[in-house]
Amino acid sequence: MIILPAIDLHEGQCVRLRQGDYATAHIVAESALDTAGDFRRQGACWMHMVDLDGAKSGKPQNASLIFDVAQKSGLHVEVGGGIRDMATVELYLEHSVSRVILGSAALRDPGFVKEAVGKYGKKIAVGIDALGGKAAAQGWTEKSQTDYIDLAKQMEALGVEFIICTDIQQDGMLAGPNLEMLDKLNRAVSCNIIASGGVSCLGDIQSLYDLGLYGAIAGKAVYTGALDLEEAVIACQRISPRPPKTHRVMEDELGRYFQKAELLPAIVQEEGTGDVLMLAYMNRESLEKTLKTGYTWFYSRSRQALWKKGETSGHIQLVRAIYADCDDDTLLIQVEQTGPACHTGRHSCFYKELRRGR
């Protein structure tokens, strides 16, 4: 699951609201760019930004600041608020924004959503903000009579791959996300769901992770210190209990690990004992197969081919967790090992002792 720390912009300032009420806006950070840099240092790869003024006015109001963050932060940035025509979509995408979020347009102009998705595909997301199960629009100032799941199904039919779902009653309250609402939505559509609103602690992140969601947005909890962003990112760098809904999503999640090289060293550790069993290498395809099947697959540098551990010997490795190191260039794979891990018949490949300390 991907964690997206959030920055909401109001009159050029980084703010947070309670339940979407603009009267509750209070400044939470001095500089959007500096804050984005902090997010990156804590391990985030994506960031969620909202132009609150744009959401109310229907056109961008803080675009130059958003461009600056998208171009200089080193993060993938998704942006929502006031994006209601193709010219605005193109404006953001031309200035290094990775994904734009269509909100009110989903209710009022589904033709525009279809056009945007048809042209830009996964660079388009739809934001569904719900109050009492009904979708809201115009910066949350107007409530419709459209059920949030019905709207999601309409968006799915238009080809939308990403939906950001916010329970307005939970937003900014640090009272926990609406898990029932999110689970129903995730089960109702094939779209990849990003949860927004109410995240208060690491436990909430774990609960969202257990639902098999694609991502979770964290705002107020990060600023107050109730949620340690680095811990949240680390907690979500494991095998999801449910596989990604589309291959494209898996590509998005795995891309960060292959920016430096095509092969990653993978340290295999027995979960029950903590013993280091072996070292092998993974390319993108073998990592994908490992994630999809739940058993270890590697890449042989000598044969230049994929291989599944235990395919001939029966000494398979059932994957329990996968972690990345601080630089995202080495993997630790915790497994349940069947039989010996080494081809010599030994439990571990690391049996040749060179030196022992006093």
Q: Annotated active-site positions, please?
A: 8, 129
State the sign of the Cα–Cα–Cα–Cα dihedral 166, 168, 174, 179.
Answer: negative
Contact 201, 227 (CB under 8 A): yes
- Residues facing 8 on adjacent strands: 15, 50
Q: Is 200 helix (H, G, I), strand (E, B) or coil?
A: coil
Q: What are phi and psi of 249, to 5 degrees?
A: -65, -40
Cα 185 to Cα 148, 154, 167, 203, distances in angstroms: 8, 13, 12, 21
Alpha carbon distance 90, 93 (integer Å): 5
Query: Which H or E run includes 129?
Result: strand 124-131
Alpha carbon distance 152, 150 (integer Å): 5
State the sign of the Cα–Cα–Cα–Cα dihedral 180, 237, 102, 81.
Answer: positive
- Could you tell me the end-to-end alpha-carbon distance of the chain, in angstroms, rounded to an integer? 44
**Residue in the structure block whose two tokens are 């048809």:** 118
Alpha carbon distance 340, 72 (integer Å): 49
For residue 327, the number of C-alpha atoms closer than 13 Å in the C-beta half-sphere is 7
Contact 233, 44 (CB under 8 A): yes
